[in-house]
Structure 1
Amino acid sequence: MSASVIADGTHSPADELRAAAQKLRALALAASTATDGAPTANWNVKYEEFHPGRGLLCGDYIINGRGERVGWPLLHRGGSQFRTTCMAPQHAEYAAAMGPSVGLALAGWLTEASTTPSCMSDGALALARAINHPAT
């Protein structure tokens, strides 16, 4: 791939990579902190003890009164007093695996690819395009 090739008629591949890195970095940093200031960079899944197969996406961990490390705070909202909002386990596990630390690492890779011709690849450009122009 040549950095001089215009990918979409207006932006070079390096422009697309930089834009995707900037967008992803901003999203990952925003997802690293809850609105109350609690850190949420270590996404994980907590399974409900009384509802097997229900995954709760959590932003970090706390140590409870029994000294156990448990997921907290919940990252999703909704439900009701009697029904907790949850995610299907496979969706919660995927979301936890793709948390803010992965987003920041990918943003760093895209930034490097935008400035280093030897790092620019079809894969980096495909990722940038998926971030810049998500399927609707």
Structure 2
Amino acid sequence: MSDTLPADILRAAAKWLRAAAQDAHRASPAPWSVTDENVVRCADGMIVADRSGTDHPAERADLPYVAAMGPATGAAIVAVLEQAADALEGQDVPADEPVLVLARQLLEGGPR
């Protein structure tokens, strides 16, 4: 992606994340929350992440993070990426620009 323009990287990440968040919402509608059972449940009660088989706090430590990164958060990140793409269109952007780093992380960890 080294020759890809920053705005294009941002838009590609937004496109991928929008689809992923929509798919997640269809399968497990927002909001997501951590329960006393040590699971993350979505709005319709389905389990999104399950750590009920452990009593060790370290093995359950990711549950709040998983719940926080549900489909609604994905949709908000899409809006940030699209707004940044519009604002940065045609500009030189440092490789370490935080929103560009975010977009690259999404693209590296997302589409296969």
Q: Is TM-score (shorter-chain normalized) higher than 0.5? A: yes
Question: Quick check: 2:6–2:88 contact (8 Å CA) kept in 1?
Answer: no
Aligned to 1:109: 80
Aligned residue type for 1:8: S
Runs of 4+ in 1 over 2 A off after TM superposition: 84-89
Aligned residue type for 1:60: A
Q: Quote the Cα distance in structure 1 between the aligned partners of 2:98 and 2:34.
A: 29
Q: Which runs of 5+ in 2 are unaligned?
A: none
SS at match of 1:40: coil
2:35 aligned with 1:14: no
SS at match of 1:32: helix
Aligned to 1:74: 47
Superposed, which structure 2 residues align to 1:1-136 within 5 Å? 8-9=2-3, 11-34=4-27, 40-48=29-37, 55-60=38-43, 72-76=45-49, 88-117=59-88, 122-134=97-109
Where relative contact order (Cα < 8 A, 6+ residues apart) is larger, the structure is: 2
Between structure 1 and structure 2, the one with the greater Rg is 1
Question: Quick check: 2:49–2:63 contact (8 Å CA) kept in 1?
Answer: no
Matched residues, number: 102
Q: Which runs of 5+ in 1 are unaligned?
A: 1-6, 49-54, 62-71, 78-83
**What TM-score do you get using the length of structure 1 for normalisation?**
0.64
RMSD of Structure 2 on Structure 1 (CA): 2.8
Aligned residue type for 1:100: P
The structure carrying a bigger helix percent of its residues is 2
**What TM-score do you get using the length of structure 2 for normalisation?**
0.77
Q: Quote the Cα distance in structure 1 between the aligned partners of 2:23 and 2:53.
A: 22
SS at match of 2:35: strand
